[in-house]
Amino acid sequence: MRGLIQGRQLLISTLIDYAAEFHGDTEIVTKTVEGPIHRYTYGESQSRAKSMAKALAGFGVKLGDRIGTLAWNTHRHFELYYATSGMGSICHTLNPRLFAEQLTYIVNHAEDKFLFLDSNLVPLVEQLAPTFESVEGYIVMTDEETMPETSLPNALCYETLIKENDDDLEWPSFEETTASSLCYTSGTTGNPKGVLYAHRSTVLHSWAACMPDVLGINSRDTILPIVPMFHANAWGIPYAAAMAGAKMVFPGPHLDGESVWKLMDQEKVSFTAGVPTVWLMLLTYMRETGTTLEHVKRVVSGGSAVPRAMIEEFEEKHDCRMIHAWGMTEMSPLGSVGTFKAGVGDLPAQERYDIQVKQGRGIYGVEIKIVDDDGKELPRDGVAFGNLLVRGPWICDSYFKGEGGDVLDADDWFDTGDVCNIDAQGYIQIVDRSKDVIKSGGEWISSIDLENAAVGHPEVAEACVIGVPHPRWDERPLLLIVRDPGSQIGKDEMLTYLEDKIVKWWMPDDVLVVEELPHTATGKLLKSQLREEYADHKLPTAGEAAE
Ligand code: AMP
């Protein structure tokens, strides 16, 4: 028997309509690409999204067409999220930090019909445009005054299109399972693969993000998403914020510590989200200038592991709670979030940090389990670790155009490629990427744990641990560190520091001081490159083999 309840479709356009109707005066603030601050409201944003949707329809854009965006976090990018998906086309966000060949591959693979780009990315796109096979026109996201001279074919100015099209538009209705947006994984090996989100998955994910035990996004919040809108839709925040009617603050391309701090201070930001690298820049700025965060209460960090020292500094010096979250592009991306269960908040600080440093606990909507290499489920005792599998209504079931083949097992579980343990309370701890874990004499060593321990040293700015071949143990850990300016810390001091922080057999066999470490386009350590670079590194312990 079917329930007698309306089957209204869960569409992305309903989010901006809600925000405009019930939070029409709530502000959206942008530090623009060109520099000045821009302010307007959800009401104006919805109206302009509709004008842009009409402009796209005028260009012949149809249901399912891919529209590329190569853009920073701004109000125009926000409008495009709604204009493109609202009219039934697919918002394909592109990461400007990718290698040129990857951008070419992705645009051609997605068959983007139009490409929207920020004005400071015009030179990059001018170089690449001849390699794009499907793009019919380029829209520069700026106004007529700042529209740059460009050799791009069929280049148009964003604000001209807004002016030329009124907002007299009813969003079309279609099946909620229709594709809404597309984001390619950064792909450290092989070609990037496209994750194709749907209207339904996006709305459900937004609902989850607003839950108090998830991100708790609400209408009293002022939100600064530093995580880029081209990285898993800024973790879904532009949708969830509209669902809640929260004030939004967009940083444009200005992500250095000073710019971020100023924006937080001026706009009284209460909630922010980004990767640890960004927090490192912000904390360094605040240390150097003796400033603090007056209004920020929640700092969500994901994308890579948060060092404990960072959680402590935010809390003890700035009275901000760091909420550690884990997820991936394939998961829309939220998978687990480190909000407190009853009682956790009352624990002594150090015991609480033991929990906060984990990647959070399962949230409604994402089923999780850990299995060994034979697929046998492992206990949730906080010790046993294995491959992390997930399934749920916002987790991908295959990649765009079937790349990579079947990615689910017979019961719909998706293998995340992460290795973790789960404790009795349901908090997960990522031990490693399955390909980064160091296999030493048949046992596993977590490179993330070692890195966290190393960056706990006050003079270590960044650390990376990789496994290098060892004649006796298969692999042993090599620690690479970037020192703080002025620091003289070297191998001996580092190893002494680690002595009481890790078990003996995890001790790195060598420590090298490097100027910098390579990162992927989404800010993760590029370990594949380092493994190649140090494949022949002779560990001082390698001689043991001969004994
Ligand atoms: P991406 O799809 O680019 O967001 O990358 C997802 C991957 O980033 C995950 O599979 C994890 O390996 C890693 N990751 C995400 N969040 C965390 C976290 N909080 N701690 C450790 N690794 C993380």
Our answer to whether residue 268 is catalytic in this structure is no
Place of tokens 């884990």: 326
Based on the fold, state whether residues 125 and 60 are members of the same structural domain: yes
Alpha-carbon 171 to chain mean position = 29
Contact 300, 272 (CB under 8 A): yes
Our answer to whether residue 235 is catalytic in this structure is no
Task: Kindly state if the Cβ of 112 falls inside 6 Å of ligand 1.
Answer: no
Task: Kindly state if the Cβ of 185 falls inside 6 Å of ligand 1.
Answer: yes
Contact 242, 211 (CB under 8 A): no
> Considering the domain boundaries, does residue 338 fall inside one?
no
Catalytic residue among 444, 491, 501, 541: 444
Nearest CA to ligand 1 atom 1: 328
Task: Kindly state if the Cβ of 337 falls inside 6 Å of ligand 1.
Answer: no
What residues make up the domain containing 448? 437-546
Distance (Å, rounded) from C-alpha 237 to C-alpha 206?
A: 8
Based on the fold, state whether residues 367 and 412 are members of the same structural domain: yes
What's the pLDDT score for residue 543?
Answer: 75
Based on the fold, state whether residues 39 and 133 are members of the same structural domain: yes
**Six-digit token pair at 306?**
């948060």
Ligand 1 mean position, distance from CA 98 (Å):
17
Ligand 1 mean position, distance from CA 195 (Å):
15
Domain of residue 390, CATH code: 2.30.38.10
Alpha-carbon 341 to chain mean position = 24
Beta-strand (E) ranges in 359-413?
Answer: 361-362, 367-371, 386-391
Domain of residue 476, CATH code: 3.30.300.30
Contact 495, 489 (CB under 8 A): no
Instruction: Please choose from 98, 275, 328, 368 the residue to mutate so as to test ligand 1's pocket, defined by most ligand atoms within 8 A of CB.
Output: 328
Contact 223, 272 (CB under 8 A): yes
- Provide the whole-model pTM: 0.90
Task: Kindly state if the Cβ of 447 falls inside 6 Å of ligand 1.
Answer: no
Distance (Å, rounded) from C-alpha 18 to C-alpha 207?
A: 13
> Considering the domain boundaries, does residue 252 fall inside one?
no
Give backbone dihedrals phi and psi of 268, rounded to 5 degrees, phi first. Answer: 55, 50
Based on the fold, state whether residues 422 and 484 are members of the same structural domain: no
Based on the fold, state whether residues 32 and 140 are members of the same structural domain: yes
Based on the fold, state whether residues 380 and 429 are members of the same structural domain: yes
* Cα distance from N-terminal residue to C-terminal residue, the chain: 74
What's the pLDDT score for residue 481?
Answer: 96
Contact 522, 231 (CB under 8 A): yes
Catalytic residue among 14, 32, 185, 339: 185
Based on the fold, state whether residues 427 and 441 are members of the same structural domain: no
Distance (Å, rounded) from C-alpha 492 to C-alpha 479?
A: 12
Instruction: Tell me the H-state helices in 129-180.
Output: 158-164
Based on the fold, state whether residues 76 and 63 are members of the same structural domain: yes
What's the pLDDT score for residue 546?
Answer: 41
Ligand 1 mean position, distance from CA 174 (Å):
33
Task: Kindly state if the Cβ of 523 falls inside 6 Å of ligand 1.
Answer: no
* 3-state SS, residue 28: strand
Domain of residue 80, CATH code: 3.40.50.12780
Nearest CA to ligand 1 atom 22: 304
User: What angle do the packed helices 308-318 and 276-289 form, to 10 degrees?
Assistant: 40
Our answer to whether residue 339 is catalytic in this structure is no
Ligand 1 mean position, distance from CA 491 (Å):
29
Based on the fold, state whether residues 478 and 515 are members of the same structural domain: yes
Catalytic residue among 62, 268, 439, 538: 439
Asked whether the CA dihedral 147, 149, 150, 155 is positive or negative, the reply is: positive
Our answer to whether residue 54 is catalytic in this structure is no
Which among 386, 414, 433 is the end of a domain? 433
> Considering the domain boundaries, does residue 64 fall inside one?
yes
> Considering the domain boundaries, does residue 278 fall inside one?
no
Task: Kindly state if the Cβ of 56 falls inside 6 Å of ligand 1.
Answer: no
Which among 433, 453, 482 is the end of a domain? 433
**Six-digit token pair at 417?**
């490629």
461 burial type by CB count under 10 A (0-12 exposed, 13-18 middle, 19+ buried): middle
Which among 170, 204, 238 is the end of a domain? 204
Based on the fold, state whether residues 402 and 473 are members of the same structural domain: no
Distance (Å, rounded) from C-alpha 238 to C-alpha 77?
A: 10
> Considering the domain boundaries, does residue 27 fall inside one?
yes
Based on the fold, state whether residues 405 and 531 are members of the same structural domain: no
Based on the fold, state whether residues 442 and 383 are members of the same structural domain: no
What's the pLDDT score for residue 187?
Answer: 59
Task: Kindly state if the Cβ of 416 falls inside 6 Å of ligand 1.
Answer: yes
Task: Kindly state if the Cβ of 418 falls inside 6 Å of ligand 1.
Answer: yes
**Six-digit token pair at 206?**
């937004």
Nearest CA to ligand 1 atom 10: 328
Task: Kindly state if the Cβ of 477 falls inside 6 Å of ligand 1.
Answer: no
Residue 324 CA, closest ligand 1 atom number: 19
Beta-strand (E) ranges in 44-119?
Answer: 66-70, 90-93, 114-117
What's the pLDDT score for residue 547?
Answer: 42
Task: Kindly state if the Cβ of 30 falls inside 6 Å of ligand 1.
Answer: no
Instruction: Please choose from 304, 329, 464 the residue to mutate so as to test ligand 1's pocket, defined by most ligand atoms within 8 A of CB.
Output: 304
DSSP codes of every residue in 477-544: EEEEEEEPTT----HHHHHHHHTTTS-GGGS-SEEEE-S---B-TTS-B-HHHHHHHTTT---TTGGG
Round the CA-based radius of gyration of the chain to a whole number and report it: 24
> Considering the domain boundaries, does residue 280 fall inside one?
no
> Considering the domain boundaries, does residue 222 fall inside one?
no
Residue 177 neighbours by CB distance under 10 Å: 12
Distance (Å, rounded) from C-alpha 85 to C-alpha 65?
A: 10
Q: Select from 304, 232, 234, 310 the least CA-distant residue to 271.
A: 234
Alpha-carbon 493 to chain mean position = 34
Task: Kindly state if the Cβ of 318 falls inside 6 Å of ligand 1.
Answer: no
> Considering the domain boundaries, does residue 504 fall inside one?
yes
Ligand 1 mean position, distance from CA 521 (Å):
13
Residue 416 CA, closest ligand 1 atom number: 10
Residue-by-residue pLDDT tens, the chain, 547 positions: 999 999 999 999 999 999 999 999 999 999 999 999 999 999 999 999 999 999 999 999 999 999 999 999 999 999 999 999 999 999 999 999 888 999 999 999 999 999 999 999 999 999 999 999 999 999 999 999 999 999 999 999 999 999 999 999 999 999 999 999 999 986 556 789 999 999 999 999 999 999 999 999 999 999 999 999 999 999 999 999 999 999 999 999 999 999 999 999 999 999 999 999 899 999 999 999 999 999 999 999 999 889 899 999 999 999 999 999 999 999 999 999 999 999 999 999 999 999 999 999 999 999 999 999 899 999 999 999 899 999 999 999 999 999 999 999 999 999 999 999 999 999 999 988 888 989 888 778 889 889 989 999 999 999 999 999 998 888 999 999 999 999 999 999 999 999 999 889 899 999 999 999 998 877 788 898 999 999 999 999 887 544 4
Q: How far is CA 84 from CA 28, 80, 104, 199, 360, in A?
A: 19, 6, 21, 12, 33
Number of domains in the chain: 3
